């Protein structure tokens, strides 16, 4: 494995640094694409979300590989992984942990829940009640859990990947806007194309392939790339374009918040680094725009696509 990239002393990102990081990220996405067949765009966007220090929401029908991609991401980076199956009877303490009375000492001891991991898969998150869904809010936003007034920091990194089934399915609870806004990106994998599905049917079981997958990048290396992503240059013209998108979204309702604008900027920078550029371009915003904006807009996917299509590019 090559040595991790080192940030320049003057805190600028050169084209050579961006190109080196892009090569390493291509190695990561190629490894993931061996597990998730025929979905290169979704794989790249998932890595982009992690690169931008965000949390990821998959919304799709069961059986298309959402859980498998989540496990593959953790394994490819050598990160600790835990999965929680969300059900209607799941309680907040089942996720966060609880203080347990210790008879010998006469006091209470905090027993951490499965949220204390580096990659948490909240599987079928919308099958839990809103109270349990909201238990993740502080953890996702602040990187900590508070129990009985005591704050417990979560591991670094802490990355939540949640899956949810379509709201038309029985036994689901729609995620409130405050919970949706904690996710940087929302993706849908969809079914593979015919050739990829044929390869899937004829080839090795994907879970068997995952069991033999070795880490292709260390967390320390990816952490440096996260820092690099924040140094990707953004021109005044591109900021004008971002503000035009935000303003256009607000012209027909509540629209996108300033936090959504920061999310879009962060994702665009990460996408630019993924493709070896030290400067973000309008096409980077467009590449991640739907995934970042759709779950924050009343009209969803259609509204996000219309917003991108009708807003002039500088």
CATH (domain of 147): 3.40.50.300
How many CA atoms lie within 13 Å of 32's alpha carbon, on the beta-carbon side? 29
Domain closes at, from 183, 208, 227: 183
Token pair, residue 85, equals 């199956």
DSSP symbol at 34: T
pLDDT, tens digit (0-9, with 9 covering 90-100), for 247-260 = 999 987 778 999 99
Instruction: Please give the pLDDT value at position 20.
Output: 93
Q: Is residue 299 part of a domain?
A: yes
User: Do 92 and 141 have their domain in common?
Assistant: yes
Residue 152: pLDDT over 60: yes
User: Do 232 and 314 have their domain in common?
Assistant: yes
Cβ pair 206, 200 in contact under 8 A? yes
DSSP symbol at 3: P
Q: Is residue 313 part of a domain?
A: yes
Q: Is residue 211 part of a domain?
A: no
User: Do 169 and 270 have their domain in common?
Assistant: no
Specify the higher pLDDT residue, 205 or 272.
272
Mean of pLDDT over the chain: 86
Q: Is residue 172 part of a domain?
A: yes
Q: Is residue 30 part of a domain?
A: yes
The total number of residues shown for the chain amounts to 314
Q: Is residue 99 part of a domain?
A: yes
Range(s) of the domain holding residue 70: 55-183
Instruction: Please give the pLDDT value at position 5.
Output: 43
pLDDT, tens digit (0-9, with 9 covering 90-100), for 188-219 = 877 777 887 787 777 766 777 777 788 999 98
Residue 36: pLDDT over 90: no
Domain closes at, from 160, 183, 206: 183
User: Do 78 and 32 have their domain in common?
Assistant: no
> Could you give the number of structural domains in the chain?
2
Please give the model's pTM, rounded to 2 decimal places. 0.87
User: Do 172 and 63 have their domain in common?
Assistant: yes
pLDDT, tens digit (0-9, with 9 covering 90-100), for 278-290 = 999 999 999 999 9
Domain closes at, from 163, 183, 203: 183
């Amino acid at each position: 494995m090559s040595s991790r990239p080192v940030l320049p002393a003057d805190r600028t990102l050169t084209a050579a640094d961006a190109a080196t990081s892009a090569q390493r990220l291509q190695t990561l996405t190629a490894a993931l694409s061996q597990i998730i067949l025929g979905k290169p765009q979704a794989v790249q966007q998932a890595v982009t979300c992690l690169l931008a220090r965000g949390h990821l929401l998959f919304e799709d029908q069961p059986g298309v590989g959402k859980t498998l991609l989540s496990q593959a991401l953790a394994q490819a980076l050598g990160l600790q992984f835990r999965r929680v199956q969300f059900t209607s009877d799941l309680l907040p303490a089942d996720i966060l942990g609880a203080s347990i009375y210790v008879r010998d000492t006469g006091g209470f001891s905090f027993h951490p829940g499965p949220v204390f991991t580096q990659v948490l898969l909240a599987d079928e998150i919308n099958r839990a009640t809103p109270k349990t869904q909201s238990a993740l809010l502080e953890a996702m936003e602040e990187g900590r859990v508070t129990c009985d007034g005591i704050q417990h920091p979560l591991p670094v990194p802490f990355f939540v990947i949640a899956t949810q089934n379509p709201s038309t399915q029985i036994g689901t609870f729609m995620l409130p806007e405050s919970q949706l806004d904690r996710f940087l990106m929302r993706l849908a994998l969809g079914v593979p194309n015919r050739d990829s599905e044929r390869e899937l049917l004829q080839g090795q079981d994907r879970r068997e392939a995952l069991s033999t997958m070795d880490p292709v990048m260390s967390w320390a290396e990816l952490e440096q790339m996260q820092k690099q992503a924040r140094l990707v240059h953004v021109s005044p013209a591109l900021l004008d374009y971002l503000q035009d998108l935000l303003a256009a979204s607000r012209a027909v309702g509540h629209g996108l918040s300033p936090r959504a604008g920061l999310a879009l900027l962060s994702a665009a920078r990460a996408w630019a680094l993924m493709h070896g550029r030290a400067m973000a371009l309008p096409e980077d915003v467009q590449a991640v725009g739907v995934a970042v904006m759709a779950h924050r807009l009343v009209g969803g996917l259609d509204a996000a696509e219309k917003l991108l299509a009708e807003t002039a590019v500088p």
